[in-house]
Amino acid sequence: MSKKFTGKVALVTGATSGIGKEIARQLLAHGTKVVVNYGGNEEQAKETYDEFGRMFGAGGGLFVGQS
């Protein structure tokens, strides 16, 4: 897969489920560092972080923050 977004950073709101999660997954696959923003479901945010960590390596360019 192309790493055309290597060195870029994206903030993805609602990235712990649905369309936002798939957008975050695709950005990570293309080399983007991704900030996942979640509103209230901390457990789901942790699960997403762990899932992406397994897919893209520890940390994997992924950061999680609550709004």
> pLDDT of 10-60, one tens digit each?
988 888 889 999 999 999 899 888 888 788 888 888 888 888 888 887 666
Q: Position 40: which residue type?
A: G
Residue 2 confidence class, pLDDT cut points 50, 70, 90: low
Q: What is the value of pTM for the model shown? A: 0.81
Task: Please count the structural domains in the chain.
Answer: 1
Q: What pLDDT shows up at residue 27?
A: 92
Q: Is residue 43 part of a domain?
A: yes
In a domain, 20, yes or no: no
Q: Which structural domain range is residue 49 located in?
A: 34-67
Task: Identify the bridge partners of residue 63 per DSSP, sorted by sequence position.
Answer: 35
- For residue 60, being part of any structural domain is answered with yes
On whether residue 28 sits in a domain, the answer given is no
Q: Is residue 50 part of a domain?
A: yes
User: How many Cα atoms sit within 13 Å of 44 on the Cβ side?
Assistant: 14
CA dist 32 → 7, 27, 61 (Å): 6, 5, 7
The answer as to whether 11 is a domain residue is no
Residue 9 lies in a domain: no
Domain assignment present for residue 23? The answer is no
Distant-in-sequence, close-in-space partners of 65: CB < 8 Å, separation ≥ 6 = 35, 36, 37, 38
Strands 62-66 and 9-13 come out as unpaired
